Structure 1
């Protein structure tokens, strides 16, 4: 069995009023004894204490201390010798965190420790009368709620340090301690966790996709396709991911499935196995899962609420959507940056729109794109309808032959 220890430091002060739990209360109420244990566990001047198992460590943050200080260390996940249903639901939610794109084995969640403690309390008669075990369980559950809640609401990576290209306004701050208090008071712990993750259709679609690929991973994924000359391997590859029906064998059905695969991956949809199509087929199920998880993380950086009407640009898909009341009214292709000069990701209020605007080519594009293209083909500018102007002596711009 994994052992659990409270490591306390020699220099301590009482930050919560332990004496508020009277001696008579402690003797008559098991919950009061648990409260005393929680107070003792948190009363030190060091920035943190640890409840440790062999593989996991929990840090008592100021948020955790403040949460228990408000209730005089009263346990919130149990009553007398009984574990609350909310505690069990939270453990199940932690177990299923992988479907939110998170790592269930992340030691910050202390899932292993929680399971061991719960099993011990529920199966061992002496453990049911041990207030220290109940105190450990209570603190671990509260801390797990805060850690998971923060990961779902803000994301794993601090938004500001994630990338210089990310210029999305930060979310409104959330007091998770008060949030948990309200959830416990209203018996809505499970629902409150779900509400912390993004509700956008894009995030929910990725979540469903992640479940699909986890199932494919459990089933063994797919084999690498050796070459374009192995049609049976290609058909099997398309069947595994659901592009081709299990019993579909006609040439027409095969080509249609291949076109759908190409369209889904942003490749020219011609029904022909080229180098790029073959490369996309040989992306492993593990890589796809990682890609989905990364995009779910980006959704967690987005604002909690979108405007009713907005214009959304999907950079990897080269597409633009005009949305009103969650309904797409217009969709079209758009031009975006390159890998070496990516389009910045931002949000802003749109105040006007220019139809068919003039576009002056930026100096970077002239230097790095147009000049090399003209050197290869002298007619490049004329062919692409790019006009060239020269500054005149009187300050006017005079058009010259490109």
Structure 2
């Protein structure tokens, strides 16, 4: 959820400022771009050099650099940020922000911010419980800011109770959950299939196709960005899955069928982008076939049509998406497949279109829904095609 996010991390004067180092590292590891802004008091607890090293950006403390007169533009920073996180926030800064006081760079960035603001208090037990502190917190919440509650434990004063800043890992989890809940597919379970299947002839040879899995993996990644919980069933491929996806690796069409039947009943959306083999050897050889005769006959049998089987099992709450890769009469065959297999949407691509189909980083698709309404797109990167497909799926979702 934090990948690509631009985050201003505000650090205030508190013994908990040492946790800002771990927090910065975790934000960077999660894929965020971090700009640290410290109050002057915060520099007494942790050095700007530490946070600059971890964030890979100069740490900002003052409105301007006295030697050069270079101005740190708080307005630009407030517009740049996707998210402002103040951790730790002291009782002093809580009071300033709640009452619109602006005597340092961080408070100026706060008043300029157009993005969501999260704040994680850190202070002693009695300061935390004081009515003035609680009033300031409630004010900030009414302004639309989000409190990351402190934990309980041993405090710097020696007292035991509330006031400890939430641990960096807890802060990351809190923000990620909040961001996920705001996404259009939050709470939805999505099943995606990708890649080819290998149908064994013998222990060495197999029947397969040229599918790279790129399209399916791009769709799974986009679904995760939209807040969905994704199960990705993949045939053999070199693609790397998003770490948030539950990945089930399979080899054959039979294994993919079994995995799909187990995952499908619990899915709200199923996107079958895998290129499953239509035929498989009747009797795979247990030993390598030796080269003897000038020809070799292999008896094949049809594999189970996974998409059709899931279409027969589909409930009214589920949305089922199929793919059609055609070489001629493309739209006719795709529309027939849509209706025969009880699909809600079919993604058509043609091998006649340069840059579309297997192994490429691009694709050119036409989307056809149950009403046979067609939407055609130009050649695009598969990541962009995935966005187009996901947008259409969101439009089709039952209320």
Higher helix share: 1
Larger radius of gyration: 1
**What's the TM-score once normalised by structure 2's chain length?**
0.26
Higher normalized contact order (CA 8 Å, seq sep 6+, divided by chain length): 1
